[in-house]
Homo-oligomer: A and B are copies of this chain.
Amino acid sequence: MPQGKKATIKDVAREAKVSISVVSYVLNSSTEKSISPATRDRVMEAAKRLQYVPNRAASGMRRKHSMVIGVVSYWELDVLVFTDMMKGITRKSSAANYRILFCHRESKQDDVSYLQYCQDGSIDGIVFIAPYESLGLIDEAFHIRQMKEAKVPFVVLNGSTHEDGVSYINVDYCGSTYLATSYLIGKGHKDIAYVAPLELHYTELERRLQGYQDAMSNSRLPVRCHDVKELPDCLHGLKAVVTNKSDTAHSVLQAAHKLGIDVPRELAVIAANTEAYSSYLFPPLSTVRIPAERMGELAVETLLEQLTGAAEPKLIMPPCALEIRQTC
């Protein structure tokens, strides 16, 4: 009969008439110690009867780990790539019996207070989900250096830096546009333009531009780029468009609609990322899907390797995949 208070290991020991160490051995099915089946059973039953649950703080204190992973992220919660990452992270970590402490950050440039979570023993490591460089939210390198200095095990998701000894799980931006462009080329298109914010110079945007250029020159096709500001006029005479993101594609679709251009008959459109709304655009937008869920899994895997013995730093960029809908 359970009283108001939670049962402790002592209660179980008393109930099973053994010492607390035996209870611990039994419950952790320690291989080093051999406990007779008889006492083993007594302990198990006592634990069940008292509904005993080991206190995680106490055990973690001895074992030197909390079995909790901190996820620090600067992303808006409703961005598909982010939610996909979270799915992968939660799945992999719960499979490994880790839990997720969620630290949502709102742009405070150089606030590294999340480090405390590690220093106070709340978490064993960090999955650091960096925001797009182009948002200018944080100084990624600074955060990474702080984590290194604090000797906190961590992995960077969606990084845009290259710090020594750090594991990155990054988006293959170059591959995303390369894939999109190659798809259009494969469908027989020759006049393929790239539309994006061109005057901005961030790794992400330059990689995406690069992927487009690579695909075109591989097929000896002429490169043609337009800034989003040139919409809608730049659409005249175009047969196919690759955009950096769904957002830009949305603008292209609106411009085409305004000009009376039929998509996909007169103009093929494909975006190099998928957003939650991509399939709700009109017509439903063909995209390249960033394997964010897989990236989340990889991040946790990589972090776990770090936690269980020093692992080599890695740089992983899982390949993107096409999601063809109705705009090409």
The one of B60, B78, B83, B90 in contact with A102, judged by C-beta atoms closer than 8 angstroms, is B90
Contact of A277 among B55, B116, B119, B277 (CB under 8 A): B277
Interface SS majority for chain A: mixed
Kindly report how many copies of this chain are found in the complex they form together.
Answer: 2
- For A247, give the chain B residue with the smallest CB separation: B280
Q: Are A121 and B78 in contact (CB under 8 A)?
A: no
Assess whether A66 is interfacial by the CB under 8 Å rule.
Answer: yes
A104 and B122 within 8 A (CB)? no
Q: Which of A233-265 contact B (CB under 8 A)?
A: 250, 257
Tell me which of B55, B77, B83, B122 contacts A56 (CB under 8 A): B122
Asked if A54 lies at the interface with its beta carbon under 8 angstroms from chain B, I say: yes
**CB within 8 Å of B: which A71-109 residues:** 71, 76-78, 80, 83-84, 86-87, 90, 99-104
A101-B102, A102-B90 known; A121+B56 contact, CB < 8 A = yes
Q: How far is the CA of A60 from the CA of B60 in the complex (A)?
A: 12
Instruction: Tell me if B61 and A120 are in contact (CB < 8 A).
Output: no
Contact of A282 with B by CB under 8 A: yes
Q: Which residues of B contact A80 (CB under 8 A)?
A: 78
In the complex, which residues of chain B have a beta carbon less than 8 angstroms from the beta carbon of A276? 78, 276-277
The 8 Å CB contact of A77, one of B54, B61, B83, B122, is B83
Chain B residues with CB under 8 Å of A86's CB are: 77, 104
3 residue pairs, one from A and one from B, having the closest CB atoms? A277-B277, A282-B282, A77-B83
A-B CB contact pairs (8 Å), 23 listed: A4-B151, A53-B116, A53-B120, A55-B120, A57-B57, A58-B121, A68-B101, A71-B102, A76-B83, A77-B87, A78-B80, A78-B84, A78-B276, A83-B83, A87-B104, A90-B102, A100-B104, A101-B101, A257-B282, A276-B276, A277-B277, A277-B280, A282-B282
Known A57-B66, A100-B102, A276-B276; further 20 A-B contacts with Cβ < 8 A? A6-B119, A53-B116, A53-B120, A54-B120, A55-B120, A56-B122, A57-B58, A57-B61, A58-B121, A77-B87, A78-B78, A83-B83, A86-B104, A99-B101, A100-B101, A100-B103, A100-B104, A250-B280, A276-B277, A280-B281
